[in-house]
Amino acid sequence: MRFDLSETQQLLKSSARQFLTAECPMAEVRRLMETEVAYDPGLWARMAEQGWTGIHFSDASEGQGMGLVEVAALMEEMGRALLPGPYLSTVLLAGTLLEAAGTAEQKQKYLVPIANGQARATLALLESSASWQQDAVRLQARREGSVYKLDGTKLFVPDASVSDFILCAARLGQELALFMTERGNTGVGVKPQPAIDSTRRLDEVNFVAAEVPPEDVIATGERARAALEYTLDVATVGLVAEMVGGMQKVLETSVDYAKTRKQFGKPIGQFQAIQNYCADMLVWTESARSAAYYAAWALTEQAPEAKSAVSVAKAYASDACREVGNRGIQIHGGMGFTWENDLHLYYRRAKASEIAFGDAAFHRERIARLVIDRAAPTR
Amino acid sequence: MDLNLTPTEQQFRDQVRDWLQNNIPADWPERRLLDEPMEERFEYLRGWQRKVYEGGWAGLHWPKQYGGRGATLMEQVIFTEEMARAGAPTMPGVLGLALVGPTLIGFGTESQKRRFLTPILSGEEIWCQGFSEPNAGSDLASLRTEGVRAGDHFVVNGQKVWTSYGWASDWCELLVRTDPEAPKHKGLTALLVDMHSPGVEVRPLRQMTGESEFNELFFNDVRVPAENVVGQVNDGWNVALGTLGHERGLLGAGLQVSYKRNFDRLVEVAYTVERNGKPAAQDPLIRQKLAQCYAEIEIMRLNQMRAISRISASGVPGPEGSIQKIFWSELNQRVQQVAMELLGPYGQLTRECDRAIDHGQWAYNYLRARGNTIEAGTSEIQRNIVGHFVLGLPKSY
C-alpha cells in the first residue's frame, strides 16, 4: 500500500505548477474574467501542447492514456491557479463521455479534435428543475424521418459559449439518450447565464427542432445511463481535486498574511483565534485531498467502492472548500472583502464548485443509497 | 499511488485473520458485555496479551533482538486493524506497546532495551505514563515533580494526574524536573520508575462515565537509579515529544476500524427504531447525518493511510499526528451525537436498564467521547501545534 504520488505523477504536478505560474498568473485570470467568454485560444493551444487536452483518453483517441490520479494532480494545480476556461467541460465532461460511449467514428470526429486542442466541448444536462438526477432529464428528442429532432431548454451548461460541440442529454420516449450537437447549427442557441464565478461561465442552450443525424446519437437507454453516471463521477473527481488546489492556495495566502499583518504590536498569526482558524483550514484541505486522490484511484481501478468514494469526496469538499474560503477572508479582515484581493475569486469558484455536479446534501443522499440502503435487513 | 495491499501484505493479513479466528477466546463476545470488576477484567485481558505475544504478534514492528518481528509499519497497522475488525479483546499493556516501547527503542540505552522491551510485549510488566500534573496540563513543560540527583540515584517528589492504568502498572515513564534553574523545556528528564518502589502511592480518579480508568500518582522521596534515565539528563522534553508523537500518530489505526464497526451497528439500529412512522434509516434527515458520519469515518481511514505512507518513508511520526488527533476526537463526538439523536429517548438508557439498546453502549459511548478532545492533548493544544509546527505561525504562548 502506498498513498502518495509516484515520481512521474509528482513531476506532472510540478511542471503543471510551473506552466500555470508562467502562463496564467493572477493578472491573466483577472484579464480573462473580464472578457466576454473567459477563454484564451493561445493559452488553450499551449495547454494542448502539454498534452492536457487529451490527458486520460486512449492512444486511439490521440490521448495520453493517463489515469485519473494524474488528472487529479493536474486539476489540483489548475484550481490553485484558478485557471479560467472550458477545461472541465471539454476534457472531463464531453471528453470522458465520448471516450466511454462513443463509436470509433464518433471518437475520430469529435474526441480527436478535443485531444488535439482544436475543439472545445461541453455537456448540456440540467434543465429548469435544476436537478442532477438523470430522471430529471425531460428535454424531448423525437425521430423524424431519417433524423432526430431536439426541442427544449438546457440550463447551467458550463462554457457552452466557447464550445464547438454540445452533448445533450434528452428523453427519447421513456429512455435517456445522449446526442451530439454543434454550436452554430440551426436550432441550437446559446445565451450566457451570468453567475457568481466569472472565471467559468454558464450558459442557457435552447434547442428548437435542432436536427441530429443518427450517426451522432452517442448512446441510449442503459448504456447512456451508465456512461452519464461514469462521466459525472470522473468530472466530479476532477472538480474536487481542483477545489483542493483552491483550498491549498487560500490556506497558504492566509497563513502568509497572518505572519505579516500586525495588530496590537504582533503578527495576528500569534493569536490563537487566528491560529485555530488556520489549523482547521489545514485539516479540511488535507482531508479533502485524501478523499479526492482516493476517489481518483478507486475510479481508475474500478474498485467496488468507487461511486461512494466519489460522493464522499464531493460531500466533504463541498462543505470544506466553502469553509476554507470563509476562514481565509475572515483572517484577511477588511482587505479580504475588497475587489482587489484575490480571495473573493476563489470564494466565488468555491461556491460554484460546491453546486456543480451536486452539493454536499445531494452526495450524502447518494452515499445513503449506496451504503445505508444496501445494509437494509432482508426479509 | 497504489492503495491495494501488496501480495505479501495480503498474505500477512490472511495469516492474522486466521490466527485471530482460531485464538480469540470463545467466551469473549459474551464476557465483553459483563459488568465485571476492573481487576478481574484486567487479568483476563493480560492473559489475552500473553497469548498474542506467544503467537508472535506483539510488537511486530519492533527489532527482532528485543522480541519483535522486525515487520514493516504497514504490517503492524494491518495487525492492529484486523484485531479491531475481529472485535478482539484489547491489550492491557497498550501504553507500553504503543508509547513506552517505541520511546525506548528510539532513546533508550542498550541495557534498558534488553531489560524492559520483552516484558512489555508479553504483558508481564504493565506501563503507565507520568506526564500531566494538576498544574501542568496543556502547559506540560511547566511540570514541577522534582528529581534531585543524590549519588547514583534521583530522589523524586511530586504528583501526577490523569494516569491511565496507573493502578495496574509495574513501571512508569515519568517526566520530572531535574534543573529548576534552566528554561522550562530544558530542565526536564525522563525516568523509568518502578511503581512498586517505596513512596509511590496510587489513588483512583473517577471519571464522568463512572469508571476509574485513570489515577493520581504521588511520589514521596522515591529513589530511582540513575541508569533509569531515558536519553540525556535535562533532555526529557525531546523524549516526551517522541512519546507524544507516537500517541498521536499510531493509536489511530485500530480506532478507525472500531469507528466503522460502531457505524455499521448504528445503521443496523437505524432499521429497528422508528422516526415519523418509518424506520429511522429512511428518514431524510437521519440519512444525511449518517452519510456524513460515513464520509468522515472513511476520510479518517484515508488520512491515516496517507500518514502511514509518510511515516513509512520518513521513519518517525511528525507533528501531522496532531491533525489526526483533531480529526478522530471531534469525529467521534459528532458520531455519538448522531447516535443519540437517532435513538431518541432510548439513547439515554444505561446498562442497568433492561430496555437499553445494545446494553447501554450508546449512552456510555456518548459520555466517553466527551473526553476524546481532552485526553492525549486537548484540541486547542493540537491546533496550537499545527499552527506553530506545521504552518510555521509564531508561537502564541
Any catalytic annotation for residue B247? yes
Residue B267: closest CA among A362, A379, A374, A305? A374
- Closest partner CB to A368 (pick from B1, B290, B391): B290
pLDDT in the model for residue A183: 95
Q: What angle do CA A207, A208, A210 make, to 5 degrees?
A: 75
Distance separating alpha carbons of residues A259 and A136, to the nearest angstrom:
49
- pLDDT at residue B318 greater than cutoff 80: no
Q: Do A312 and B295 touch (CB under 8 A)?
A: yes
Question: Measured between alpha carbons, how far is A102 from A298 in angstroms, rounded to an integer?
Answer: 23
Instruction: For B251-291, write each residue's pLDDT tens digit.
Output: 577 899 999 999 999 999 999 999 999 999 999 999 999 99
Q: Nearest-CA neighbor of B338 among B376, B393, B289, B391?
A: B289
* Inter-chain residue contact A294 with B302, CB threshold 8 Å: yes
Amino acid at the residue A99: E
Look at residues B350, B348, B346, B351 and name the one whose alpha carbon lies nearest to residue B35. Answer: B351
Residue in A closest to B303 by C-alpha: A290
Q: Is the pLDDT of residue B243 over 90?
A: no
Predicted pLDDT of residue B200:
98
Whose grid coordinates read 505512507? B309
Stretch 247-306 of chain A: residues touching chain B, C-beta under 8 Å: 255, 258-259, 266-267, 269-272, 274-276, 278-280, 282-283, 286-287, 290-291, 293-294, 297-298, 301
- Mean pLDDT, chain A, rounded, equals 97
CA pair distance A132, A358, nearest whole angstrom: 6
Contact A272 B288 (CB under 8 A): no
Q: Which amino acid is at A351?
A: K
DSSP state of A377: P
A266 and B281: CB-CB below 8 Å?
A: no
User: How distant, in Å, are the alpha carbons of A250, A274, A316, A325, A326 from that of A268?
Assistant: 17, 7, 29, 18, 17
Q: Which amino acid is at A90?
A: T
A354: distance to nearest CA of chain B, Å? 16
Complex ipTM: 0.96
Residue B32 has pLDDT above 60, yes or no: yes
**Per-residue pLDDT at B250 exceeds 70:** no
Of residues B251 and B143, more confidently modeled: B143
Q: How far is B93 from chain A (nearest CA, A)?
A: 28
Beta bridge partners of A142: A149
C-alpha atoms less than 13 angstroms from C-alpha of B279 in its C-beta half-sphere = 15
- Look up residue B393 and give its DSSP letter: P
A18, with CB counted inside 10 A (0-12, 13-18, 19+), is exposed
> Which residues 236-255 of A have a C-beta within 8 angstroms of B?
255
DSSP state of B242: H
Angle at which helix B110-122 crosses helix B38-54, to 10 degrees, equals 110
Provide the pairing of β-strand B171-177 with B127-130: parallel
A310, A233 contact by CB (below 8 A): yes
Nearest by CB: B384 against A275, A312, A367? A275
User: What's the rounded Cα separation, in Å, for the pair A311 and A204?
Assistant: 27
User: Residue B213: is its pLDDT beyond 90?
Assistant: no
- DSSP secondary structure of B41-71: HHHHHHHHHHHHHHTT-TTTTS-GGGT----
pLDDT over threshold 70, residue B248: no
Contacts of A373 in chain B (CB under 8 A): 281
**Residue tagged 440550463 (cell numbers):** A155
A275/B306 touch (CB, cutoff 8 Å), yes or no: no
CB contact under 8 A, A371 and B294: yes
B195 forms beta bridges with none
Element holding A296 (H helix, E strand): helix A272-300
The pLDDT of B59-63, averaged and rounded, is: 89
pLDDT of residue A379: 65
Q: Give the distance from residue B52's alpha carbon to the nearest chain A alpha carbon, in angstroms.
A: 25
Chain A CB contacts of B81 below 8 Å: none
Provide the 10 A C-beta neighbour count for residue A84.
Answer: 28
Test mutation, A256, A290, A369, chain B, max B CBs within 10 A: A290
More confidently predicted of B191 and B315? B191
The Cα B298–Cα B292 span in angstroms is 10
Contact B298 A270 (CB under 8 A): no
Task: Name residues 345-374 of chain A within 8 A of B (Cβ).
Answer: 361, 363-365, 367-368, 371-373
Distances from the Cα of B193 to the Cαs of A261, B124, B125, B184, B224, in angstroms?
A: 48, 16, 12, 22, 6
Q: How far is A260 from chain B (nearest CA, A)?
A: 10
Distance between CA atoms of A344 and A250, rounded to whole angstroms?
10
Q: Give every residue of chain A whose pLDDT is below 50, as ranges.
A: none
Q: Where are the alpha helices (DSSP H) in B55-136?
A: 73-85, 94-95, 101-107, 110-122
Residue B123 has pLDDT above 60, yes or no: yes
Judging contacts by C-beta atoms under 8 Å, the chain B residues touching residue A291 are 295, 298-299, 302
Q: Is the pLDDT of residue B319 over 80?
A: no
Contacts of residue A98, defined as CB under 8 A and 6 or more positions apart, other chains included, come to A61, A106, A107, A110, A111, A114, A167, A218
Nearest-neighbour CA in chain A from B359: distance (Å): 21
Which three cell numbers mark B171?
513501571
Residue B184 has pLDDT above 60, yes or no: yes
B371-394 pLDDT, tens digit each: 999 998 999 999 999 999 999 999
pTM (2 decimals)?
0.95
